């Protein structure tokens, strides 16, 4: 079994190549099964122990570093795009349409991946009504998107809420078809039944890492942020079908748990999973002030975790999920005592740049170096002037 998985993973090593996809044996009941996928990420991503402070007695937290799946293409979105863009190319698309918030990690990853494959990318980005007529700027994800030449259409939050993402992407699709283009639409977060295979495959990767001895025992819990539902759907159905059998908990950073139970159910039904979402995942509310909005306490937590452990969490997704997890551990320590937890870091570092002004009061430790004028110069390497 281990050698078979090793051969399958080794066959996926050439970056940007198109590979035939062979589903895990335990996923044989799911349908449809993708035929191909692109190699867009740097996998497997590492798993290491996360030395979080103030954990309950005998609790271990390990970190799956999907934030290290690439730089321009970092984060959980890469796994979904491997399958979605293979489908786009198979259908003869010459451009990609997708949609998200103004600092959407998914939109940035899609723009980069599309350009790697010589496809144009059209992004519909949601922003404040007050900023609709202004240049959106070059902060964070926007800088990467604009550098790779993505076409950006801005919509207000009010328009997005009134019309919905499906109608907005269809409007742009119809416009591009009239212009002679062949667009392929990817939904918010890449979260449809096809994109779900990204995290079905991630569970096979985790299985292989456990077999190789990454840790000395299985995980009791798998925890992740939930922003559009696809990652959580893949993690939960694959954990349920495979031998991992961990308890999956998702901390939603927008909408509410009932919405995501229903949305994940739709993705599971699209795969013929034959299971209820509420039976295989626990979804907790961690949205706080709302999507991409942070409290001072949440930002302070992100800063303290970085300073304590060296791991930088984004404030929109993994930061809120980890904050929710740690709050629950503090409130209900006996619930977590002795458990071994795998936390999925879904990436999003570039989104942190949008919080510069809010983070500034929390960051210190700088000063002008004191240098006496009498100190003589000693020549060495790296002379700059």
Length of the chain: 385
SS3 105: helix
Q: Is the four-CA dihedral 62, 225, 268, 99 of positive or negative sign?
A: negative
CA 379 to chain centre: 47
Nearest-angstrom CA–CA distance, 225 and 106: 14
Closest CA to 42 of 85, 72, 8, 84: 72
Peptide bond into 234 cis (omega under 30): no
Token couple for 148:
């790779």
Q: Is the four-CA dihedral 144, 150, 154, 155 of positive or negative sign?
A: negative
CA 317 to chain centre: 8
Strands 60-65, 120-127: pairing kind:
unpaired
- Cα 185 to Cα 95, 96, 207: the distances in Å are 9, 6, 32
Nearest-angstrom CA–CA distance, 41 and 181: 28
383 DSSP 8-state letter: -
Nearest-angstrom CA–CA distance, 316 and 55: 23
Closest CA to 232 of 284, 292, 287: 284
Q: Is 190 left (phi over 0), alpha (psi -120 to 50) or beta?
A: left
Q: Which residues are catalytic?
A: 104
Strands 60-65, 47-49: pairing kind:
antiparallel
Tokens 């800088």: give the residue.
Answer: 143
- Cα 365 to Cα 200, 253, 298, 362: the distances in Å are 43, 31, 20, 10
Nearest-angstrom CA–CA distance, 68 and 295: 26
């Amino acid at each position: 079994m281990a050698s078979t998985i090793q051969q399958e993973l080794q066959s996926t090593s050439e970056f940007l190549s198109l590979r035939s996809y062979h589903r895990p044996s335990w996923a044989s009941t799911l349908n449809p099964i993708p035929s191909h996928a692109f190699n867009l990420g740097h996998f497997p991503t590492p798993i290491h122990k996360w030395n979080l402070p103030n954990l309950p007695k005998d609790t271990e937290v390990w970190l799956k570093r999907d934030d290290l799946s690439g730089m321009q293409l970092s984060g959980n979105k890469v796994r979904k795009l491997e399958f979605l863009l293979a489908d786009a190319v198979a259908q003869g698309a010459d451009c990609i349409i997708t949609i998200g918030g103004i600092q959407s990690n998914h939109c940035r990853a899609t723009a980069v991946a599309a350009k790697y494959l010589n496809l144009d990318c059209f992004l519909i980005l949601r922003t404040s009504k007050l900023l609709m007529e202004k240049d959106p700027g070059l902060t964070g994800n926007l800088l990467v998107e604009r550098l790779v030449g993505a076409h950006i259409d801005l919509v207000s939050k009010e328009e997005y809420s009134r019309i919905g993402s499906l109608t907005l992407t269809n409007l742009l699709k119809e416009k591009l078809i009239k212009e002679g283009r062949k667009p392929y639409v990817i939904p918010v977060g890449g979260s449809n039944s096809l994109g779900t295979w990204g995290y079905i495959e991630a569970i096979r990767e985790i299985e292989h890492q456990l077999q190789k001895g990454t840790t000395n025992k299985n995980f009791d819990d798998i925890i992740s942020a939930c922003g559009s539902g696809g990652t959580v759907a893949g993690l939960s159905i694959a954990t349920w079908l495979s031998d991992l059998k961990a308890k999956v908990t998702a901390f939603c950073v927008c909408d509410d748990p009932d919405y995501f139970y229903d949305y994940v159910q739709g993705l599971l039904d699209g795969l013929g999973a034959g299971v209820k979402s509420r039976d295989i995942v626990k979804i907790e509310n961690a949205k706080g002030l709302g999507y991409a909005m942070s409290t001072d306490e949440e930002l302070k937590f992100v800063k303290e975790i970085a300073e304590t452990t060296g791991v930088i969490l984004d404030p929109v997704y993994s930061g809120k999920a980890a904050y929710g997890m740690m709050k629950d551990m503090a409130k209900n320590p006996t619930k977590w005592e002795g458990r071994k937890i795998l936390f999925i870091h879904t990436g999003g570092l570039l989104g942190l740049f949008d919080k510069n002004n809010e983070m500034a009061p929390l960051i210190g430790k700088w000063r002008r170096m004191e240098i006496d004028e009498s100190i003589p110069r000693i020549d060495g390497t790296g002379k700059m002037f």
